[in-house]
Chains A and B, each alone.
Chain A
Amino acid sequence: QHIQEDLNTQLFDNLVSFLRRSHSECQEKTTEWTCRMKSREIPAAALILGVNVMDHDLTLKSLSEVLQDNITPYIALLEAKDCPGIKNLMQKLMGQLMNCHIDVDSLEDEDYVQVSQNRIRCSMTSLVNWYKSVTKKTDSETPSKKRASSPRHGQSPPVVVIFKDMESFTTKVLQDFIVISSQHIHELPLVLIFGIATSPMVIHSLLPHSVSSLLCIELFQSLSCKEHLSTIIDKVLLTAQFPFKLGEKVLQVLINIFLYHDFSVQNFIKGFQLCIVEHFYSQPLSVLCCQLVEAKKRANSLSHDQCENIRRLPSFRRYVESQVSEKQVALLTADSVVKEVTQQLLEDLHVYHENYVSVLRCLHVFTSSLPKYPLGKQIRELHCACLENQVWETEEYDSSLQLARMLNKSDLVTMLQQCVEILVSSSGKEFDKTVEKLKEFLTQFQKLEAEAFQEQDVSISSQKELRKKTDLYHLQKTLLELKESRRSKKLTKFEMLRFEVVDYIDSLVRSYLVPADHKTLHEILYFNTASVLRAHLNAAPRTALHTALNNPYCYLKNQALKPDGGSISNKAPDICIVYKLHLECGRLINLVDWLEAFSTVVMAVEGPHADAASSDQVDDIIHARFIRAVSELELLGFIKPSKQKTDHVARLTWGGC
């Protein structure tokens, strides 16, 4: 399972580098701001991060890291939940700034920390004093210490304050803070960064004009989370580098959660990690899910049980059935043969992935520019479609090929060039021929172009001829002829070539984009149990509660509780009985009636002989059990005491939801 860790680190590396790119622009701005501090305005950056609040944490953290490396050691990240009042905000700010200072040059400042800890006097003046002392000290220290980053800090590095999720701050706190810091902007170079989830209008709605006029806001739009997702899918799933793959349904589930529920990339990554864990946990053959060389080694040292496992795989069985009979016997009996074949098949699978990815990209180049996007705009949709079944059998594929046959030449040429680039950059060995073929197409197109030029020349000359003629009728006739001939001739040539290209792409697709479940041993690399994942990620608390109460067998696994028709069994726990009874009632439930029904159900079995004793007076024990069950239901939020009638309770939930 060590690959899993590798994968995670890789994933986060991707993410961080990605973010770094998106924020590099922001850094430049920050450095620029430091020079213009002359006015009373506080430089501020409004960072629109999108609604996925969960990702902000990561983004802002990496942003502050980047800033710390490049611009200033003084960064404070404030969260709304820590700052209910201006006092808490200042305390938090001071704490973070001073601590981070200590971190930076963890020197002899022990007594200094002591002092700052002791006096809880958190005001801007003390902050300014602290800042002055720190800058003075670093100035005197830098020559002796020679830190790499200090020259870039300049004489007075700015203090950056990041507000995470600006919407949840109370307006008063923000206003006060901005007013205060504007008083001290000359002494304390402060830069504010607001993380905004919705739209920059909130700045205006949160701050009155008198306060917002103190700010000098610049706007930065971070990449939308959809693009973010596509890059991650691009880098992690659509490479041959990582052996672990997601099956179609699983990927669909993950993407649906992302698109329908929360635009949270972090959740997507977590879901992906869950898939990895689940796969390695549930699939005994997942030891083979690693880099190719390693996998071959491991395949060599498989035990007998594991070989049996391989034989049990449905895809392997299919493979065996397709072989000749003596080979079948060998495969089914000898472990060594199985090992050999497994190695062979794993290698096949690896090659298949390499080819798959590059051909998929080529196909995406073609389909993504078609009108109406029959195969989807994003490469992930195409990927899903290809994983699901044989893509060339779908209607969408047909229609997209139809459309591709109507492309104009310049588009077609650029697409072909892109395809050539993709194929050349990919590592597959079988693509040499393909590349050649495509290049050939390109040259043919160029030839065509040249011919077209010539033809134009011809037509021009013929037009010159035409001018000489004065007869109107003749002129019309020849013009028509000319046009017709030109069109038919040119189009046929071009069209033929175009058909050829499209057919060739079609053949490529047919040979390389076979869905993964048609490949032998795909179970090792692909994780395909979507239902497990859905159950884990898409929690449905109400439904779960309903099943638990309605059908206790589902959780308790007690044979006596097996559901039998619609009747209410008296062996079920009390709360289940009460719950089922309450489902039959209306909005207001009479407690006495309820109790009556409850006792009837409970007494149903032991009824006949005990009936005589307590016919009109309910047993005390049953009464107590009933009251306990009802209060449990109240705790779960199904009922609440109503104020309209004293001996009634009100139902809070309804039917299916």
Chain B
Amino acid sequence: MPNLEHPAYPADALLQLESLVPCRESQVSLLLSIFGERQQFSFPSIFIYGHTSSGKTYVMQTLLNTLQLPHVFVNCVEYFTSRLLLEEILFQLQSCSSEAEQTSHVPCDNFNDFVRLFKQAVASQELQDQTLYIVLDRAEQLREMEANILPVFLRLQELTDRNVTVVLLSEIVWELFRPNTGCFEPFTLYFPDYSIGHLQKILSQNHPPEYSADFYAAYINILLGVFYMVCRDLRELQHLAALNFSKYCEPVVRGEANERDTRKLWKNIEPHLKKAMQTVYLREISSSQWERLQRDDGEPGQLKGLSAHTHVELPYYSKFLLIAAYLASYNPVRTDKRFFLKHHGKVRKTNFMKKHEKTSNHLLGPKPFPLDRLLAILYSIVDKRVSPTANIFSQITSLVTLQLLSIVGHNDQLDGPRYKCTVSLDFIRAIAR
């Protein structure tokens, strides 16, 4: 295990840091060596990428906090325009050293202002002797802002002529960022996914104080055995571990088993966890409902998940409209005549339909159809005479807003809008019942 060693920082802080970031020692030591000592100029921009929840944000935060480096931490999703982003950076910069001073709002519209204000801020805070770190989390959002923002952040050190390092955190690789005008290449650093051993270690670290570490580690072992196949997201696993732990402890609390009796505990928890995988993990039922369920020890069958309520109540003609739309989407035009003109008996019609659906039309997806065809099919499948009232037309648009149909093509065309049916066969079956 590479111990963190760096001459510039006190040993106890490093030790604390090491305990806080398990399984990321090599990355941290690399970062530290890039950062150098406080007053040294560092690399102008660093790009860190890795899969979801591989600890990028966490490592950066703990690193900067424990070593008490001056830094600004901004989430690019939250500050969705460049203006908001820049203002937020300046705001944090102002408040980062002097809390007492009432910081006023500084309008900052473009990068020119930003560089000027940035220099002022740094000068007023006496930060010249230290490297300032600007961390931009979820940096992939930067690509959607103005075109100049990414290149400028990458060479901020050069532009401002101050000791500053920009750190970009992202889930995607640098190649997807590179603007076509070319820019300064940052130093890229990859955070690999945690392995199962790493996950085990990290999860077991924060065990509840009333139980021993070994006991919790055994629990985590079981949990990972169930969930590792479907989920490697550390945050999700933490969430699941917290939710199901009380159930695991139940036999111990009741005195039926002691903490060493892992086999018994395993038997107790395993079906429970499997159930959890089907429900909580998919967010079929919310975690608070799950907790209540555990407390009551009731049957989960009583609680219907989100997907259980698939039935949709629709008005009479809307149903027919939707069915007509479905038929129009999946049947080719040339069969219309055969289906809807010759046979008026309903039985024959359905037979034909079923035969047809077996062919590969369903694999091709819905096809667009014009409004007239939809109405023609509607008239033929409804037994009674339907008058084309405004209500029918407004129902079509309301089906579009419900996302059961979708408009294809340009909106501005008044004549002959084309639609697509976006619901599945099962849904239509449920409606046509």
List residues of chain A with CB under 8 Å of any chain B CB. 33, 36, 39, 41, 43, 46, 48, 50-51, 53, 86-87, 119, 121, 123-125, 165, 167-168, 176, 179-180, 183, 197-204, 209-210, 212-213, 215-219, 221, 224-226, 257-263, 538-543, 637, 640, 652, 654, 657
Contacts and interface: CB of A to CB of B under 8 A. Distances in A.
B372 A654 contact: yes
Interface string B52-96: 100000000000000000000001011111001001100000000
27 contacts: A33-B288, A39-B239, A39-B242, A41-B287, A46-B306, A53-B401, A53-B402, A87-B81, A121-B105, A124-B78, A125-B88, A183-B75, A198-B403, A202-B403, A203-B306, A204-B283, A210-B52, A212-B283, A215-B286, A218-B288, A259-B316, A260-B391, A263-B315, A539-B389, A540-B388, A652-B415, A654-B372
B415 A257 contact: no
A-B complex: 5 closest residue pairs judged by Cβ atoms? A539-B390, A261-B391, A260-B316, A200-B306, A216-B286
A256 to B, nearest CB: 9
Contacts of A39: 239, 242, 287
B387 interface: yes
Contacts of B87: 121
B307 A201 contact: yes
Interface in B276-318: 283, 286-289, 304, 306-307, 309-318
Interface string B358-396: 000000000000001001000100000001111111110
Contact of B415 (A180, A258, A543, A640): A640
B78 to A, nearest CB: 5
B80 to A, nearest CB: 5
A39 B291 CA distance: 13
B309 A168 contact: no
Contacts of B314: 51, 263
Contacts of A221: 309
A51 B312 contact: yes
Contacts of B393: 541
Given A199-B311, A224-B313, A51 B77 contact: no
B306 A180 contact: no
Given A119-B105, A176-B77, A261-B395, A201 B310 contact: yes
B396 to A, nearest CB: 11
Contacts of A87: 80-81
Given A167-B403, A263-B313, A257 B77 contact: no
Contacts, number: 144
Nearest to A205: B403
Contacts of B185: none
Given A197-B402, A200-B309, A201-B310, 20 more contacts: A39-B239, A43-B288, A53-B398, A53-B401, A168-B403, A183-B75, A198-B312, A198-B403, A203-B306, A216-B286, A217-B286, A259-B316, A261-B389, A262-B394, A262-B395, A538-B387, A538-B389, A543-B387, A652-B415, A657-B372
B84 A123 contact: yes
Contact of A657 (B283, B388, B391): B388
Interface of B: 52, 75, 77-81, 84, 87-88, 105, 236, 239, 242, 283, 286-289, 304, 306-307, 309-318, 372, 375, 379, 387-395, 398, 401-404, 414-416
A202 B401 CA distance: 13
Nearest to B391: A261
A48 B306 CA distance: 11
Contacts of A224: 313
A39 B239 CA distance: 9
Nearest to A36: B288
A225 B313 contact: yes
A216 B306 CA distance: 12
Contacts of A202: 403
B401 A167 contact: yes
Contacts of A86: 80
Contacts of B390: 538-541
A51 B315 contact: yes
B414 A121 contact: no
A203 to B, nearest CB: 7
A276 B388 CA distance: 27
B397 to A, nearest CB: 11
A261 B402 contact: no
Contact of A216 (B242, B287, B375, B401): B287
B320 to A, nearest CB: 9
A640 B416 CA distance: 10
Contacts of A539: 389-391
Given A121-B84, A216-B288, A199 B403 contact: no
Given A263-B313, A543-B388, A123 B78 contact: yes
Contacts of A125: 78, 88
A180 B391 contact: no
A218 B289 CA distance: 8
A198 B402 contact: yes
Given A261-B391, A261-B392, A165 B415 contact: no
A261 B387 contact: no
Nearest to B398: A53
A218 B379 CA distance: 41
A204 B306 CA distance: 9
A203 B287 CA distance: 16
A213 B283 contact: yes
